[in-house]
């Protein structure tokens, strides 16, 4: 048919279809059916093997936990009860229970402390999949030590000392001024203010310049808080280590991170490294000495890796500081006796300090025993309920006659250990005195605290966090009295890490301190 005939008739001749999907023609149907059936059979065989024949199959626990990592994900996203469910599993199955295809969880924390202090243990590659390239997620202990040696000087010594005596003190003073300005003016949302302070601390330490959240007021502060703390980061972590395809997609398309709850920190880290490797002028190079991100890229010889490390440091540091600060305020308000003892120590110290009542500017503040005890006790109680520490041994481990095969992950949950009555008597009570030198068990307790890590895997930000917490607490209790507005249903604000349907802020009535 010619073009003219097509235009005249308005029809187009159709060629016969060379194939068709039909039960009578197996060109497409039968191969597709074979692939589908083979996939289902292989999946079923894998599930059966995991439950009955895999290395961890001899450990008691629910069959579904052994079958798939989605068992945990179900209790995160659907039931929203993972921590409570984990406790129930131990009540049913005993001190060691299987919680995943290749992971067993312990509540025998004395055993865990002995085990996790071994320097040869590997980190669980599945659990730490989201940060496997970063210091906190490197599985091999030798590679970890090499990376730590490169990064450690940036969080110790002169670097930290210069920051603490300058920018940190300025931010602490700005926080005190901000809180005093709101005293006597009605309820103050301390979660918003303390988050702004924590984010400014971490961004200024990494870049040399605070992001400036602490300068915001009113709705601008609220909007900034909501934009930088979306409620879901804990659930995102659970999804990431349960769904390998998600991390593969992120690895292939790093820009996807900008669409998640960590997007704000990812963008900041990117801006901090824009000048790296561009041959800047001497003046700009001098200014960039305060930018730890550039120094980190120089040490790692990898801009992308430095970017990822910075994002993780900003997020983990800011959330960790906020959590501890909220617990500090809560327990100070709930324990007048502790408040009086701490103020007595600070007042006595201020009388001999060249900084007077601005005691946070005096480096001797860090050596005050009762202040240290208060911070340690708060750190213990604020240990995250959602984080556990899974490790693997290259050789089998024996637990009470039971063999844990090599490369099976063995974990414990931070909050469960820090509230174990066999380690900490009256674990739910706020008792700073347990950490004082006068307590014969104080040294043992300090050796068992794991909130900042265990063995040779200790958080690099430990010293930074201790200085921030002690300075911030001192500046607040020196000048302010406060009464917490406890919401109906109890202090939900203590669930400090943002999770689904649990957005409760710490709100308090502030007053200038009465003598």
> Each residue of 110-126: pLDDT tens digit?
999 999 999 999 999 99
Residue 360 CA neighbour count, 13 Å, CB half:
26
Phi first, then psi, for residue 107 (nearest 5°) are -120, 5
How far is residue 164 CA from its own chain's centroid? 23
Summarize the confidence of residues 118-140 as an average pLDDT.
Answer: 95
Under 8 Å between Cβ of 150 and 471: no
Residue 467: C-alpha distances to residues 241, 296, 367, 464, 470 (Å):
32, 22, 10, 5, 5
What pLDDT is recorded for position 30?
77
Cβ atoms within 10 Å of 66's Cβ, excluding its own? 23
What pLDDT is recorded for position 27?
66
Does domain 68-131+386-418 correspond to CATH entry 3.40.50.920? no
Q: Supply angle C-alpha 444, 458, 203, rounded to 5.
A: 130
Separation CA 402–CA 408 (nearest Å): 13
Under 8 Å between Cβ of 379 and 473: no
Share above pLDDT 90 across residues of the chain, in percent, rounded to a whole number: 75
> Each residue of 174-224: pLDDT tens digit?
999 999 999 999 999 999 999 999 999 999 999 988 899 999 999 999 999
> Each residue of 453-503: pLDDT tens digit?
998 899 999 999 999 999 999 999 999 999 999 988 889 899 877 665 566
Phi first, then psi, for residue 57 (nearest 5°) are -70, -15
Under 8 Å between Cβ of 65 and 98: yes
CATH 3.30.43.20 residue spans of the chain? 68-131+386-418
Summarize the confidence of residues 301-323 as an average pLDDT.
Answer: 94
Report whether pLDDT(272) > 90: no
Summarize the confidence of residues 422-427 as an average pLDDT.
Answer: 97
Question: At a CB cut-off of 8 Å and minimum separation 6, what does 6 contact?
Answer: 12
Phi first, then psi, for residue 150 (nearest 5°) are -75, -35
Report whether pLDDT(249) > 90: no
Residue 405 CA neighbour count, 13 Å, CB half:
13
Report whether pLDDT(171) > 90: yes
Burial call 290-312: b when 16+ CB within 10 Å, e when fewer? bbbbbbbbebbeebebbbbbbbb
Q: Per the annotation, where are the binding residues?
A: 459
Report whether pLDDT(261) > 80: no
> Each residue of 316-327: pLDDT tens digit?
999 999 999 999
Under 8 Å between Cβ of 274 and 291: no
Q: Which CATH architecture has domain 144-383+425-512?
A: Orthogonal Bundle (1.10)
CATH 1.10.630.10 residue spans of the chain? 144-383+425-512
Could you report how far apart the first and last alpha carbons of the chain are, in Å? 103
> Each residue of 16-70: pLDDT tens digit?
544 444 554 556 777 888 889 999 999 999 999 999 999 999 999 999 999 999 9
> Each residue of 75-89: pLDDT tens digit?
999 998 999 999 999
- Tell which residue, 198, 209, 226, has the closest CA to residue 315: 198
Under 8 Å between Cβ of 469 and 325: yes
Separation CA 241–CA 246 (nearest Å): 9
Phi first, then psi, for residue 16 (nearest 5°) are -60, 140
Q: Per the annotation, where are the binding residues for heme?
A: 459
What pLDDT is recorded for position 7?
42
Mean pLDDT across the chain? 90
pTM reported for the whole predicted model: 0.91
């Amino acid at each position: 048919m010619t073009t003219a005939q097509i235009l005249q008739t308005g029809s187009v001749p159709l060629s016969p279809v060379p194939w068709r999907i039909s039960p009578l023609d197996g060109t497409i149907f039968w191969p597709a059916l074979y692939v589908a059936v083979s996939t289902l059979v292989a999946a079923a065989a894998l599930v059966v093997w995991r439950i009955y024949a895999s290395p961890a199959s001899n450990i008691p626990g629910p069959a579904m936990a052994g079958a798939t990592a989605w068992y945990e994900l179900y209790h995160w996203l659907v039931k929203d009860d993972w921590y409570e469910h984990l406790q129930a599993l131990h009540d049913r199955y005993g001190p060691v229970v299987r919680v995943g295809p290749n992971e067993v969880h312990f509540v025998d924390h004395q055993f865990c402390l002995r085990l996790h202090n071994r320097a040869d243990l590997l980190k669980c590659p599945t659990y730490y999949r989201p940060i496997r390239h970063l210091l906190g997620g490197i599985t091999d202990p030798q590679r970890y030590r090499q990376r730590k040696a490169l990064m450690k000087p940036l969080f110790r010594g002169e670097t930290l000392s210069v920051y603490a005596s300058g920018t940190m003190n300025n931010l602490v003073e700005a926080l005190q001024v901000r809180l005093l300005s709101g005293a006597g003016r009605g309820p103050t949302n301390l979660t918003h203010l303390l988050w702004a302070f924590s984010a400014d601390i971490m961004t200024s330490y990494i870049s040399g310049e605070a992001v400036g959240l602490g300068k915001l007021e009113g709705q601008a502060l609220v909007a900034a808080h909501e934009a930088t703390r979306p409620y879901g980061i804990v659930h995102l972590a659970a999804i990431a280590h349960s769904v390998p395809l998600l991390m593969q997609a992120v690895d292939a398309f790093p820009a996807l991170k900008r669409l998640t709850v960590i997007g704000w920190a990812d963008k900041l880290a990117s801006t901090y490294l824009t000048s790296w490797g561009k041959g800047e002028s001497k003046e700009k190079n001098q200014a960039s000495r305060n930018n730890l991100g550039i120094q980190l890229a120089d040490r790692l010889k990898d801009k992308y890796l430095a970017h990822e490390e910075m994002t993780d440091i900003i997020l983990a540091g800011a959330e960790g500081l906020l959590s501890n600060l909220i617990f500090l305020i809560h327990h100070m308000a709930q324990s007048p006796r502790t408040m009086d003892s701490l103020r007595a120590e600070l007042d006595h110290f201020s009388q001999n300090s060249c900084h007077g009542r601005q005691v946070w500017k005096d480096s001797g503040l860090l050596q005050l025993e009762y202040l240290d005890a208060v911070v340690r006790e708060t750190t213990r109680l604020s240990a995250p309920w959602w984080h556990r520490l899974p490790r693997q041994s290259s050789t089998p481990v024996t637990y009470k006659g039971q063999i844990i095969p090599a490369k099976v992950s063995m974990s414990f949950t931070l909050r469960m250990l820090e509230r174990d009555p066999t380690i900490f008597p009256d674990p739910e009570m706020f008792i700073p005195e347990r950490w004082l030198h006068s307590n014969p068990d104080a040294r043992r307790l300090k050796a068992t605290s794991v909130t900042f890590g265990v063995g040779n895997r200790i958080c690099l930000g430990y010293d930074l966090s201790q200085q921030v917490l002690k300075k911030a607490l001192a500046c607040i209790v020196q000048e302010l009295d406060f009464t917490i507005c406890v919401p109906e249903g109890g202090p939900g604000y203590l669930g400090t890490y943002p999770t689904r349907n649990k957005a409760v802020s710490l709100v308090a009535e502030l007053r200038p301190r009465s003598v």
